[in-house]
Amino acid sequence: MNLNESDTEINEVIKAYPPERQNSLPIMQDLQKKFGYIPRNAFKKIGLYLSCSEAHLYSMATFYKALSLVPQGKHVIRLCDGTTCHIKGSVQLRDEITRLLGIRDGETTSDRLFSLQLVNCIGTCAIAPAILIDETYYGKLTPADLPAILNKYRKMEEEREKEIEKESGMENGEKNEKEEAS
Instruction: Enumerate binding residues for ligand FES (CB under 6 A).
Output: 80, 82-85, 121-125, 128, 130
> CB of residue 14 vs another protein: minimum separation in angstroms?
13
The closest residue (CB) to ligand FES is 82
By CB under 8 A, name the one of 44, 65, 152, 175 that touches another protein: 65
Nearer to ligand FES, 75 or 88 (CB): 88
> CB of residue 146 vs ligand FES: minimum separation in angstroms?
16
Q: What does each C-alpha distance from 52 to 17, 21, 46, 132, 170 come to in angstroms?
A: 15, 7, 8, 34, 48
Q: In what order do the strands lie in the sheet with 75-80?
A: 114-119, 75-80, 131-133, 136-138
By CB under 8 A, name the one of 1, 16, 48, 66 that touches another protein: 66
> CB of residue 132 vs ligand FES: minimum separation in angstroms?
9
Q: Site size for another protein, by CB under 8 A? A: 54
Q: 88 is in the binding site of which of ligand FES, another protein, none (Cβ under 5 to 8 A by kind)? A: another protein
By CB under 8 A, name the one of 142, 151, 168, 176 that touches another protein: 142
Q: What is the four-CA torsion angle of 102, 82, 86, 146, rounded to 10 degrees?
A: -40
Q: What does each C-alpha distance from 110 to 65, 74, 76, 83 come to in angstroms?
A: 22, 11, 14, 30
Q: Binding residues for another protein, per CB under 8 A?
A: 20-26, 29, 50, 52, 56, 59-60, 63-67, 78, 80, 82-89, 91-92, 95-96, 99, 119-128, 130, 132, 135-140, 142-144
